[in-house]
Amino acid sequence: MRFDDRLATVLGLPASGRTERLALWRQLVDLLAQADRTSSPRRDEALARLRDWRGEVPDAARRGAALALAGEAVPADLVHFFAEDEASIAAPVLARAAMDDEAWAVMIPRLSPIARALLRHRRDLGPKARHALDAFGPSDLMIGAGPVPANDAAGSSEDMGIDVEAGGAGETDALPDDHAQADPETVPGSPAGQTEAMAGRASPPIAELVARIAAFREGRADTAFAAPPPARVREFLFETGPDGVIHWCDLDARGAVIGLSIASADETSAHGVDGHAAGAFRRRASFRDARLTLAGEGAIGGEWRISAVPVFDPAIGRFSGYRGSARRPRLDERAELPGLFGTSLPGEALRQLAHEIRTPLNAIIGFAELIEQQIMGPVNVRYRQLAAEILGEGRALLATIDDLETAARIEARALRLAPRPLDLGALLASLGPALSDLADLRGVAFALRLAPDLPTITADPVSTERMLVRLLGAMVGLAGAGETVEARLDPGIIGQIRLSVSRPAVLAGRDERSLLDPAHGPDGDWPDAPVLGLGFTLRLVRGLAEAAGGRLVIEAERIALTLPAVAGAAAAAELEQR
């Protein structure tokens, strides 16, 4: 028998500092999520440790862990752990966690009213879970009613066969005896009952009330005649103030737009603008086709592409804000296509798969290095050759896994960047020899031209190097014998730096939609195509560029990558102070 001691190992590690506890908290969540759905003698201890440390873990980290579990078959005890957290953290798990009907029915009486309100938005729950939610509908809607009245809890438990007392004290405990026998004239649904409830109890947070009311209305809408859905809006105009907050748009239902800021991109949220719009705002520069995601599934919810120009006071030159337009994305631009970057790869599951593959792959690479370098002693030449082949293929596979995991994090807006001043010209020059070697193998000429006096950029060194290697490597790898691939690095418009790469002949005549098509996979239309396909590679580069505040532009003869420059950011800050 195999004994899984990973939980015991992590629980035994020292956790004297906040940094250590944060790292261990993440590891425990991962292990509890993948523990073969079986019980473990240390599982309860691990959950208790998670609850003890929850207050020390930043909201963004807890929200990222919840997003990583969304859509997965998560064990019930871990779902309940996240359901205890704030609504914004519990929402991804409660909205998409996969559990059977019986497990949901057992858990629902143990959840808070706000957690049950989030569950009411799901349409994939089974009859037992739906029955359990319906039983708590009246009490959840009552103002200030977190607990469930004793008479309601008893009745619902008999109907569903659920032991309400097993849910734990403090979450579904009965109300005091003086509220158990309510007068018919002061029930929660009547005006008198509402007045008494408001006078005799503490008011809950406004967000909780809104969530309860929305869930109640949605539940009632199921039994009423549904009105036809509003027509989906395809475009709108907007204006922002100097702080980047949208204060006007030409929509009738403008609630989801007014108050939204284009000044910053929240990597922990699935809504808002991307780094392209936020980077342009910092430079007071115009931008085109930045991503905007609005909450909800109504007429204006979903993904948009926005373009805008800065506006300055004509009298004194002071920055006044932005004026722009929004449109729905074309099919090739959409980020919510099924799977990862428009492929059949499930993004959230892929991050877990990458974690599982990387450990044994690193072990294989390590053993291959021992043999190839004869560290443990002399090795036959043939074995050394085989080890060298395994080493090369293992490293290539590891790089592919890293690309997949990075792409999954981009899709989930969970990519963590550490930007700092970076000399892009020096970085390109350091990559030149490797690219030249690749070009020589294919009979291709690679020319790198760097303009003088290039500005410094602010970017994450790791992600920036990945962008350059993937873009330049793809163009060199697709070029035919005798071709020249030219890469030019020049100052772009004010506040930017621009790398443009010539397109090889095999890509002649292909438009942007064709080049971004993920259908060009490992068995694509031309030899030596990138391992995951050219479409995937370009989408990965584009996602990394937008996360850094830049963009990828596919032109007729070249592919251009633009990134924000430090000088531009400083100039924008100086202009703002005028």
Q: What span, in angstroms and rounded, lies between the C-alpha atoms of 337 and 316? A: 46
Tens of pLDDT, residue by residue over 458-471, are 888 888 999 999 99
Average pLDDT over residues 344-356: 63
- Average pLDDT of span 279-294: 85
Cβ neighbors of 172 (< 8 A, separation 6 or more) are 109, 110, 147, 148, 153, 164
CATH number belonging to domain 420-574:
3.30.565.10
CB atoms within 10 A of CB 36: 8
And the tokens for 222? 């199921």
With bands split at pLDDT 50, 70 and 90, how would you rate the model's confidence at 519?
low
The per-type count for the chain, helices as H runs and strands as E runs, is: 22, 13
pLDDT by residue (tens digit) across 214-252? 655 555 444 433 444 556 788 899 999 999 999 999 887
Categorize the per-residue pLDDT at 363 as very low, low, confident or very high, splitting at 50, 70 and 90.
Answer: confident
Residue-level pLDDT at 566: 74
Q: Which of 141-145, 367-371, 472-476, 541-545 has the weakest average pLDDT?
A: 141-145
Q: Which amino acid is at 502?
A: S
How far apart (Å, rounded) are the C-alpha atoms in residues 375 and 391? 15
Model confidence at 485: pLDDT above 90: yes
Pairing type for strands 445-450 and 484-491 reads parallel
Q: What is the CA radius of gyration of the chain?
A: 28
Q: State the Cα–Cα distance between residues 140 and 136, nearest whole angstrom.
A: 6
pLDDT tens sequence across 384-440: 889 888 888 888 888 888 888 888 777 777 777 888 888 999 999 999 888 888 888
Q: What is the pTM of this model?
A: 0.44
Q: Which residue has the tokens 């027509």?
A: 231
As its CATH architecture, domain 235-329 has 2-Layer Sandwich (3.30)
In this prediction, residue 256 has a pLDDT band, given cuts at 50, 70 and 90, of confident
The CA distances from residue 301 to 80, 415, 421, in Å, are 29, 23, 37
Give the model confidence (pLDDT) of 23-38 as tens digits. Answer: 888 888 888 887 554 4
- Across 258-262, 329-333, 416-420, 424-428, least confident range: 329-333
- The residues with which 423 forms a beta bridge, in sequence order, are none
State residue 489 phi and psi, 5-degree precision.
Answer: -115, 115
d(CA 526, CA 534): 10
The ranges assigned to domains in the chain are: 6-221, 235-329, 340-411, 420-574
**pLDDT attached to residue 222:** 44
**Spatial CB neighbours of 483, under 8 Å, sequence gap ≥ 6:** 444, 445, 504, 505
- Region 537-566 average pLDDT: 87
Residue 320 CA to its chain's centroid (Å): 32
